[in-house]
């Protein structure tokens, strides 16, 4: 069976400067498969600059890879016909970070819902369109009569973000790419938005790629997780395993940096080592070596491959060397078990 | 009535507060009518203390920050109350006096570090600006030495002074803003969501820097934000704002262990922990419009424990042990909020015994034994 969307050995390299270009590898030989048959929520976690948004843009077809290929229903993205591209645009929907910038302030919020209905011919007449809009809004826990006809500035950030979720759902997509959907929303409203994404996944069988830097929400929402650092996967697997028993020092640092809402837990026991720039994104060694508290000489020479810590978790770190080694392409197998 | 917190350990009873806010009111005059964004807010802050000010968007927390700096612009106005920094009454100062007091007595770390710095001026000139205006007697070399000193205080290399803001990362820009805020060694710093645009690791590093400066320079910090997790880890006193009013104020451990206002309780439980997976406890509804506030208690429209009295009477502040003050009618009900929450949990446990067992207790990785 062909996968719905597949990244195969994708790299994305950005160059800046004309004469001696400074090369930044935003994504390094990354592969990921999203199946239609068993929808999942995959969390992609990492700090700013880890390549997680580049990954999202690749999946949505906003940018092309520098090397490697992106496949949609088994066809290379660059060779899609017009009709297939149209289908792709309906199947893959996006939820972006900023619920303020996603709206045109001159239109009422109905606009973001009516445009896709019109473009994709989802309704035969106005009544049906209105009904569809109402239904989509109710699904994300909003009351249509309070929302329709209003301007973006009259609504709260949480409401606006939920309308964006409703818009994505209107098209009955197969995949939703959610790039930091809750990072600009009040902490108290995050739960409601994540809940609506989660129920949509459950009820409609949509796969979600949840891009975030927040491991706690990733833990609650997703089935499987991929931890990225400077474009390379550090650790991946079933989410409870990775979050509760992190094996890679980078995952541990991420978890240690979460401010827990519990005064008895001390924040940040492991000190953050500053990046001294000795492991650029183009290094052949481990990219985390310059910040790793457990760094060994071999880390700086050859990057570690994945080690299968347990059947549902793989870590790219020599600290897990005692576990069986995995080829890079086997990561997807570990993820699929989650 | 005041929400004083003198009962804490560590501060002798004779110590004077470094920041004292009394019955502060801020009104905005709009076409649709007058709205009160900050309603009779009182609190005291002692030297070296860290106070957190939490609330959702629109609860008035940023208005307080601006009012403390006396930077409320028309149509807004400070319509009552007093703000004292040490012995200086900020609300009684002339505009010129305030201009000299700003940054010298009370500094501010703005919310959006990205837009707080001038994009076409080097970092050096932006720090120099503050020093030259407030301390005109400094020589050129003294100013340069101070610039390097403050940059090093926020853990930036001295070369950063020669860079433009676009050459810095988000965390570095926020550090420059902190450097500017502490350049004149103020007594109080107001940090308005200083890390809202940063990722978890950078957030932790920036907060560690603010914490270190606070200890070293004995500055009092007011941290404004909506993340209860960050508050639990950083501040020692917490004030919860709702619709312009103080809902609850008290020492952080007490507030987390035994909140006496349902809103505080809901803010805490809305945060995801590593307990039961896939359980979301958001706060339903939205903050009421300040132009159309409900009668009685402002929180009653979203409160799960609402009673008849809540719609007719606004709750008054009730003091508990240890400088803990809350405004909720439940305080006069036997058992209070804790009783209600426990009753609710018991009811849930009867309906769903398996979940209730798993749901409590687990909070972080330390308790689940994840770290070695």
* Tens-digit pLDDT profile for residues A231-253: 899 999 999 999 989 999 999 98
Is B164 touching A (CB cutoff 8 A)? no
B75: cis peptide before it, omega within 30°?
yes
Which residue of A187, A198, A255, A294 to mutate against B (max B Cβ within 10 Å)? A187
Residue A63 CB contacts under 8 Å (≥ 6 apart), including other chains: A12, A54, A57
Among the partner-chain residues A186, A219, A268, the one whose CB lies closest to the CB of B57 is: A186
Contacts of B277 in chain A (CB under 8 A): 219-220, 240
Q: Give the confidence band of A328 by pLDDT, cuts at 50, 70, 90.
A: confident
Residue B271 is predicted with a pLDDT of 80
Supply the pTM of this predicted model.
Answer: 0.83
Q: Give the confidence band of B8 by pLDDT, cuts at 50, 70, 90.
A: very low
Instruction: Write the pLDDT tens digit of every residue in B234-287.
Output: 999 999 999 889 999 999 999 998 899 999 998 888 887 777 776 777 787 777
Which residue of B59, B112, B114, B229 to mutate against A (max A Cβ within 10 Å)? B229
SS3 for A244?
helix
Residue A157 CB contacts under 8 Å (≥ 6 apart), including other chains: A99, A100, A184, A185, A186, A189, B57
Residue B197 is predicted with a pLDDT of 72
Nearest Cα to B258, choosing from B356, B132, B161, B342? B342
Q: Which of A200-209, A266-275, A316-325, B339-348 has the lowest mean pLDDT?
A: A266-275
Residue boundaries of the structural domains of chain B: 19-251, 255-368
- Kind and range of the H or E run holding A87: helix A82-91
Whether the per-residue pLDDT at A136 is higher than 80: the answer is yes
* A5-222 maps to CATH 3.40.50.300: yes
Among the partner-chain residues B200, B278, B370, the one whose CB lies closest to the CB of A244 is: B370
Residue A260 is predicted with a pLDDT of 83
Six token digits for residue A212: 């975030």
How crowded is residue A103: how many other Cβ atoms within 10 Å of its Cβ?
20
Q: Which long-range CB contacts under 8 A does B90-94 form with residues at least 24 apart?
A: none
CA–CA distances in Å: residue A205 to residues A42, A197, A306: 13, 11, 30
Six token digits for residue A179: 């790039």
Among the partner-chain residues A188, A194, A216, the one whose CB lies closest to the CB of B274 is: A216
Instruction: Write the pLDDT tens digit of every residue in B154-186.
Output: 989 999 999 999 888 888 899 999 999 999 999
The CATH number, out of the four listed (3.40.50.300, 2.60.40.420, 3.20.110.10, 3.40.50.2000), of the domain defined by the range B19-251: 3.40.50.300
Is B156 touching A (CB cutoff 8 A)? no
SS3 for A49?
coil
Asked if A48 and B202 come within 8 Å (Cβ–Cβ), the reply is yes
Contacts of B268 in chain A (CB under 8 A): 261
Instruction: Write the pLDDT tens digit of every residue in B53-89.
Output: 998 877 888 889 999 999 888 888 999 899 999 889 9
Whether the per-residue pLDDT at B147 is higher than 90: the answer is yes
- Ranges for all domains in chain A classified under CATH 3.40.50.300: 5-222
Asked if A262 and B232 come within 8 Å (Cβ–Cβ), the reply is yes
CA angle B209, B210, B215 (to 5 degrees): 95
Residue B353 is predicted with a pLDDT of 62
Q: Which of B149-158, B182-191, B342-351 has the lowest mean pLDDT?
A: B342-351
Alpha helix segments (H runs only) across A205-314: 215-221, 239-244, 249-256
Between A117 and B332, residue with greater pLDDT: A117
Which residue of A101, A219, A239, A262 to mutate against B (max B Cβ within 10 Å)? A262
Instruction: Write the pLDDT tens digit of every residue in B283-308.
Output: 877 778 888 888 889 998 888 888 88
Contacts of B278 in chain A (CB under 8 A): 198, 220-221
């Amino acid at each position: 069976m062909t996968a719905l969307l597949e990244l195969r050995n994708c790299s994305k390299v950005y160059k800046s400067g004309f004469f001696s270009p400074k090369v930044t590898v935003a994504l390094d030989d990354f592969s990921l498969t999203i199946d239609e048959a068993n929808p999942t929520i995959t969390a992609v976690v990492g700090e700013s600059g880890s390549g997680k948004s580049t990954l999202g843009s690749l999946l949505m077809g906003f940018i092309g890879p520098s090397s490697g290929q992106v496949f949609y229903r088994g066809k290379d993205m660059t060779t899609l016909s017009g009709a297939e591209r149209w289908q792709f645009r309906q199947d893959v929907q996006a939820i972006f970070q900023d619920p303020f910038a996603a709206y045109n302030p001159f239109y009422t919020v109905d606009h973001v819902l009516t445009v896709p209905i019109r473009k994709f011919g989802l309704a035969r007449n106005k009544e049906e369109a209105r009904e569809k809009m109402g239904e989509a809004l109710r699904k994300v826990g909003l009351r249509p009569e309070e929302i329709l006809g209003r301007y973006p500035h009259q609504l709260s950030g949480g409401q606006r973000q939920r309308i964006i979720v409703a818009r994505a759902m209107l098209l009955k997509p197969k995949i939703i790419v959610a790039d930091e959907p809750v990072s600009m929303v009040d902490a108290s409203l995050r739960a409601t938005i994540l809940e609506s994404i989660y129920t949509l996944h459950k009820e409609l069988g949509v796969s979600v790629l949840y891009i975030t830097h927040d491991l706690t929400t990733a833990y609650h929402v997703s089935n499987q997780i991929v931890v990225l650092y400077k474009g390379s996967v550090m650790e991946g697997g079933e989410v409870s395993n990775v979050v509760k028993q992190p094996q890679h020092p980078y995952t541990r640092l991420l978890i240690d940096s979460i401010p827990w809402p519990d005064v008895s837990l001390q924040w940040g026991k492991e000190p953050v080592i500053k990046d001294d720039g000795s492991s650029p994104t183009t290094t052949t060694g481990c990219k985390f070596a310059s910040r790793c508290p457990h760094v060994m000489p071999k880390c700086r020479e050859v990057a570690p491959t994945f080690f299968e810590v347990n059947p549902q978790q793989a870590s790219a770190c020599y600290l897990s060397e005692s576990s069986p080694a995995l080829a890079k392409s086997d990561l997807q197998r570990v993820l699929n078990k989650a | 009535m005041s929400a004083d917190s003198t009962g804490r350990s560590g501060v002798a009873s004779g110590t004077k507060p470094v920041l004292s806010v009394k019955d502060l009111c801020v009104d905005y005059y709009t076409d649709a009518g007058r709205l009160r964004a900050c309603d009779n807010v009182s609190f005291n802050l002692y030297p070296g203390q860290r106070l957190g000010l939490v609330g959702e968007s629109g609860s008035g927390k940023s208005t307080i920050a601006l009012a403390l700096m006396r930077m409320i612009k028309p149509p807004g106005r400070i319509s009552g109350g007093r703000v004292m920094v040490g012995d200086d009454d900020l609300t009684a100062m002339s505009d010129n006096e305030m201009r000299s007091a700003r940054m010298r007595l009370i500094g501010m770390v703005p919310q959006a570090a990205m837009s707080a710095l001038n994009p076409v001026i080097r970092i050096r000139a932006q720090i120099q600006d503050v020093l030259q205006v407030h301390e005109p007697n400094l020589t050129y070399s003294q100013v340069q030495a101070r610039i390097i000193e403050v940059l090093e205080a926020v853990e930036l290399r001295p070369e950063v002074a020669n860079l433009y803001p676009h050459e810095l990362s988000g965390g570095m820009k926020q550090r420059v803003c902190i450097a500017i805020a502490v350049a004149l060694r103020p007594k109080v710093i107001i940090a308005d969501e200083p890390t809202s645009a940063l990722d978890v690791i950078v957030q932790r590093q920036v907060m560690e820097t603010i914490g270190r400066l606070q200890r070293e320079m004995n500055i009092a910090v007011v941290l404004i934000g909506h993340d209860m997790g960050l508050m639990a880890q950083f501040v020692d006193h917490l004030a919860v704002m709702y619709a312009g009013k103080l809902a609850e104020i008290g020492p952080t451990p007490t507030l987390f262990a035994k909140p006496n206002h349902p809103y505080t309780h809901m803010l805490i439980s809305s945060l995801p922990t590593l307990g039961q997976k896939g359980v979301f406890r958001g706060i339903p509804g939205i903050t009421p419009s300040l132009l159309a506030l409900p009668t009685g208690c402002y929180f009653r429209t979203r409160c799960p424990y609402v009673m008849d009295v809540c719609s007719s009477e606004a709750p008054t502040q009730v003091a508990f042990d240890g400088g803990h003050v809350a405004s909720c009618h439940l305080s006069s009900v036997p058992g209070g909020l804790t009783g209600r929450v426990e009753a609710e949990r018991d009811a849930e446990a009867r309906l769903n015994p398996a979940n209730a067992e798993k749901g409590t207790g687990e909070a972080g990785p330390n308790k689940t034994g994840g770290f070695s």
